[in-house]
Chain A
């Protein structure tokens, strides 16, 4: 979750993420299952998390090289809403298959780091670039 003083991509000052795992697991952390609500038939999903432990790496390059960081936390509520019909996708190169829908996502979020707090504008002001939701199988489950 990245913050910029200028337009997106210009003057990054905060980069909130949980870090990269020893295995290479990328910015992924376990959360309570009841934080997630999904209705694929209806084409909606929501993810609501509060006071999630993160680190503030301040910029993307520093995050990728696991440079110095500050303890931080984020809270967010985000909603997926399907904007297209379901599509079956199989990618034998990357070995994933599933049924997906392109979506629009809205988010309202906040972040805290030492000496700093951020609060986003209301969810209705979110600009969706590209979002997807669905059900998939990959890895050892790809051929099932």
Chain B
């Protein structure tokens, strides 16, 4: 599978120190379990997940090719089968909690130079993965990741 791995001209987030990423509402969650597992799930150790992972996971091995460009990702729709859902995770060698979505809506954009406002529509495909994974270093880690 050929995937565009070229990156020139700017610095991606994983090449920068984590300085601005903050959590909103930690006080509301502090003291409560980050994961509440039901009868069909073992309870997960919250302490393993509180920090920010320092070793990146590896991508799923397959995906789709928008504009003929192969990527390691399946969108929530359309469903390609044979399963009734597409692989919702972006990371492979993974055992944990996962969520993905496609939602649409609207909002307001502001040109900060002129102050002009405009109505805009949005599509958001976001998700999460949290649990055990084999990192790029070949070792097992716990971590939480956002698909944005």
> Nearest residue in A to B7 (C-beta to C-beta)?
A66
Most chain A beta carbons < 10 A, residue from B46, B85, B89, B91: B85
Closest residue of chain B to A2 (Cβ to Cβ) is B123
Set A9, A55, A89, A129: member contacting B12, Cβ < 8 A: A55
Q: Which residue of chain A lies nearest to B102 when distances are taken between CB atoms in the complex?
A: A129
A27 to B122, CA, bound (A): 17
Which residues of B pack against A, CB within 8 Å? 3-10, 12-14, 16, 18, 20-26, 29-30, 32, 34-41, 46, 48-54, 56-60, 62-63, 66-67, 69, 71-74, 76-77, 82-113, 118, 120-124, 126, 128-132, 134, 136, 143-148
Question: Within the complex, which residue of B20, B36, B95 is in contact with A141, where a contact is CB–CB below 8 Å?
Answer: B95
A-B contact pairs, 6 of them (CB 8 A): A47-B128, A61-B66, A96-B87, A109-B124, A118-B108, A125-B106
> Given A6, A19, A96, which contacts B89 in the complex, CB threshold below 8 Å?
A96
Known: A28-B145, A30-B143, A32-B144. A136 touches B109 (CB 8 A): no
Residues of A within 8 A of B40 (CB): 40-41, 86, 99
- A134-B88 in contact (CB<8A): yes
Question: Nearest chain-A residue to B129 (Cβ)?
Answer: A28
Query: What is the CA–CA distance of A17 and B124 in the complex, to the nearest angstrom?
Result: 10
Chain A residues bordering chain B, tally (CB within 8 A): 105
Instruction: Tell me whether A90 and B108 are in contact (CB under 8 A).
Output: no
Question: A24-B71, A136-B98, A141-B94 given as contacts; is B107 within 8 A of A118 (CB)?
Answer: yes
Other-chain contact of A121, B62, B87, B105, B113 (Cβ < 8 Å): B105
A25 to chain B, nearest CB (A): 5
| Cβ contact of A115, chosen from B34, B84, B112, cutoff 8 A | B112
B119 to chain A, nearest CB (A): 9
Q: Which residues of B contact A18 (CB under 8 A)?
A: 12-14, 148
CA distance A47 to B147 in the complex (A): 11
Asked if A27 contacts B148 (CB within 8 A), the reply is: yes
CB-nearest residue of chain B to A110: B107
Contact of B85 among A26, A29, A64, A100 (CB under 8 A): A100
Of A18, A28, A89, A102, which is in contact with the most chain B CB atoms at under 10 Å from its CB? A28
Contact B148 A17 (CB under 8 A): yes
